[in-house]
Amino acid sequence: MSNISDQDVSAIKALQAPWIQACLDRDWDALLGICTDDIELYPPDAPKASGPDASRAYLEAFPVMKAFTFEFSKIEGQNDFAAGRGSFSITAEVDGSEVAMNGKFTDLFYKVGDDWRFALVTWNTDNPTG
């Protein structure tokens, strides 16, 4: 049972646009700026990246994204903790070719002061579509 307010849900949804823009711009400072200090990435078929340095290293090695969208299907939480899940679509440049992939994600958020921040990001891909 979720007790976070509609305002909290809206604040978490508002992180979507800056996350997408940071990924497309490869602006890892901006992306890490909306994360907790102990951010963890749980990518598919790779070891987890714990903390901002390991997360930055993983992101810098990630293929260049040409297009990226994601949508939350559900956000719920208790007090200063929330979970969001949904689906995404990425087109990335891999070995000189564009590869499209779809998948799903679960993100965990902590409220730090008045701001919600990504605390854990985990995702996996469906079969590539391109």
* pLDDT tens-digit series, residues 111-128: 999 999 999 999 999 975
10-16 CB contacts, 8 Å cutoff, 24+ apart:
11/115, 11/116, 12/72, 12/75, 12/82, 12/84, 12/109, 12/116, 13/72, 13/75, 15/109, 15/116, 15/117, 15/118, 16/70, 16/71, 16/72
CB distance 90 to 67 below 8 Å: yes
Between 2 and 51, the more confident residue is 51
Mean pLDDT (whole number) for 71-95:
96
**In terms of residues, how long is the chain?**
130
Q: Per residue in 13-50, pLDDT tens?
A: 999 999 999 999 999 999 999 999 999 999 998 999 99
Query: What fold, for 6-125?
Result: Nuclear Transport Factor 2; Chain: A, (3.10.450)
What are the extents of the domains in the chain?
Answer: 6-125
| Closest to 90 in 3D by CA, of 110, 65, 115 | 65
CA distance 47 to 14: 28
**Burial (0-12, 13-18, 19+ Cβ within 10 Å), 118:** buried
Greatest alpha-carbon pair distance for the chain in Å reads: 47
Model-level pTM? 0.92
